[in-house]
Amino acid sequence: MIEILNPNNQSYTLIQHAILGCKLVSIPTETVYGLAADATSDKAVKKIFDIKSRPTFNPLIVHVANIDHAREYVEWTEEATLLAKHFWPGPLTLVLNQKKHSSLSKYVTAGLNTVALRMPNHPIALEIIKKSGKPLAAPSANISGTLSPTAANHVQKQFKKGDIDYIIDGGSCEVGIESTVVHIDKGKVNLLRLGKIQKQDIEKLGLDCIEALEGKDKIISPGQLLKHYAPTLPVRLNAKTVEKGEALLAFGDKPLTGAKKSLNLSLSSDLTEAASNLFKMLHELDQSIYTSIAVMPVPNKGIGQAINDRLKKAAS
Ligand code: TXA
Ligand code: MG
């Protein structure tokens, strides 16, 4: 099994050496656990694609320590300053044009001329970026297409020793859903992936925000094309009843009865709590002793939109 380390000086040094040696490590962020490597190393970045079985056309997010660090790699804009000042560190990824002579590995961007950047709001992730002195390419630490990991043991379950050198334990991820991704282009903000930070949050800053999600417009986020977030069991959405042998993912104070096992995303119908429980509970219900996972309806407002986006992909 891959070793899980507690965060302390000794483990930070081990992780630093692993990163500088082009190895992979799994780190906690506030959204999900990432599979991190030196974003300037072709060798390290190639390994990420390999271990995840990730299609090479799907670019990675580069994690940085602060705004100045981000500006080293991209043509920064006014809109980026406004967004980063409000939402960094935090669950917002900014896609911007890459600088001509950036030091990033060409594999990070999958041949696009843009780069996705994020400053995570997690002390362990930030410490590791600073200690390694490198920008970190870090997709979610799961095999492509499967459920995202929100705890160290989810990562340990999916990968084998040798794939990843270490996992560093930061407990459960607070947000629980991947970052919102926006592409800043000619003064406009194009929303590519739904997350905790929503269209209205961006518009409040006086910016134009256009939904450019899959099917709505031309696809500019390759990752959105792929099958995603799927448990092994079939997922049945908007369940009004429970069928024989099913596990239930409930929501609210009137959970359906009759399930072999039932977990509640939020008894008090709190969507933020539901988001943070989503992947954890899907991981827990995804067992072959059940026939499928029935999911009760989740209101499609606020972060509920991101929850429904992930659930729809889990069911497709
Ligand atoms: O919360 C998160 O964003 C997590 C944590 C670890 O930071 N990371 C994550 O990475 O979700 P990943 O690789 O699972 O998803 C990255 C998404 C994909 O949909 C990818 O297509 C998109 O970002 N992306 C990356 N670079 C892009 C680019 N240059 N243009 C458009 N989309 C891009
Ligand atoms: Mg992912």
Q: Is 115 in the pocket of ligand 1 (CB under 6 A)?
A: yes
pLDDT band at 222 (very low <50, low <70, confident <90, very high): confident
> For 30-89, how does the pLDDT look when each residue is reduced to its tens digit (9 = 90+)?
999 999 999 999 999 999 999 999 999 999 999 999 999 999 999 999 999 999 999 999
pLDDT band at 275 (very low <50, low <70, confident <90, very high): very high
pLDDT band at 212 (very low <50, low <70, confident <90, very high): confident
Look up residue 163 and give its two tokens. 């794939």
Q: Considering every ligand atom shown, identify the ligand nearest to the alpha carbon of residue 129 and give its number.
A: 1
Q: What is the mean pLDDT of residues 100-115?
A: 95
Q: Is 44 in the pocket of ligand 1 (CB under 6 A)?
A: no
> For 127-166, how does the pLDDT look when each residue is reduced to its tens digit (9 = 90+)?
999 999 999 999 999 999 999 999 999 999 999 999 999 9
Which of 105, 181, 185, when mutated, tests ligand 1's pocket best, judged by the most ligand atoms within 8 Å of its CB?
A: 181
Q: Specify the length of the chain in residues.
A: 316
Pairing state of beta strands 209-211 and 188-193?
parallel
Query: What's the pLDDT score for residue 4?
Result: 98
Tokens 């099958």 -> residue: 227
Query: What's the pLDDT score for residue 218?
Result: 54
User: pTM for the complete prediction?
Assistant: 0.95
Examine the pLDDT at 219 and tell me if it is beyond 70.
no
Examine the pLDDT at 261 and tell me if it is beyond 70.
yes
Examine the pLDDT at 217 and tell me if it is beyond 60.
no
Q: Over the chain, what HEC string results?
A: CCEEECCCHHHHHHHHHHHHCCCCEEECCCCCCEEEEECCCHHHHHHHHHHHCCCCCCCCEEECCCHHHHHCCECCCHHHHHHHHHHCCCCEEEEEEECCCCCCCCCCCCCCCEEEEECCCCHHHHHHHHHHCCCEECCECCCCCECCCCCHHHHHHHCCECCECEEECCCCCCCCCCCEEEEEECCEEEEEECCCCCHHHHHCCCCCEEECCCCCCCCCCHHHHCCCCECCCCEECCCCCCCCCCEEEECCCCCCCCCCEEEECCCCCCHHHHHHHHHHHHHHHCCCCCCCEEECCCCCCCCHHHHHHHHHHHHC
Query: What's the pLDDT score for residue 175?
Result: 98
Nearest atom within ligand 1 for CA of residue 35: 6
pLDDT band at 316 (very low <50, low <70, confident <90, very high): confident
Question: What's the chain's average pLDDT?
Answer: 95
Query: What's the pLDDT score for residue 42?
Result: 98
Examine the pLDDT at 253 and tell me if it is beyond 70.
yes
**Ligand 1 center to 212 CA (angstroms):** 15
**Ligand 2 center to 253 CA (angstroms):** 31
Distances (CA, A) of 98 to 10, 81, 183, 202: 35, 16, 12, 23
